[in-house]
Amino acid sequence: VFGIKKEQLLHEYLFRHFKENKVEIASAITKLFPFLMSLRDRAFISQQMFDHLQEACRNLVPVNAVVYTVLSELEKTFSLSLLNELFSHTNLTAYPDLVEISRSFLNGDKLTHPTRCSVSKVEKVILRENQGGDC
C-alpha cells in the first residue's frame, strides 16, 4: 500500500510539473521533426491529429503554438512513458533547450518530491533511453 501511495504521489508531482511547464517545453521545441513524428510513430497521437497539426503549420501557425496544442492534448492521457518519449535522446539532441527542462523534473524541492527513492525511479524512466539503462 505504501509503495502504491509513493507511486501515486510521484505521478501527481510529475503531472503537475508537466502541466506547469508546457509553455517552456513548447518554446524549446523549435521544429516539428522529430518531435511530432515520434509521437505519431509511438501512438501518442493519431494519424488524424498528426495531419491536422501538420496542416496548422502549413497555414503558418507558429511551431510553438502547435507544440503547445499537442502537449495540452497529451496532458489528458499523461504517463511516464510520455515523459520518456518527450525527453528521449533523439529529442534532447534535436532540442538542446529540453535538456534543462528534463533536469527540472528531477530537481524539485524536497517538499514536493515524495522520496529520493522515487526520484531515482523517475530518473531511470526519463533517462532510460539516454543512458541505455534498464528501468
Q: What are the pLDDT digits (tens) for 38-87?
A: 999 999 999 999 999 999 999 999 999 999 999 999 999 999 999 999 99
Cβ distance 80 to 96 under 8 Å?
A: no
Cβ distance 81 to 128 under 8 Å?
A: no
Range of the domain at 35: 2-131
Burial 33-71 (b: 16+ CB within 10 A, else e): ebbbebbbeeebbeeebbeebeebbeeeeebeebbbbbb
Interval 104-119: pLDDT, tens = 987 753 323 333 434 4
**Number of structural domains, the chain?**
1
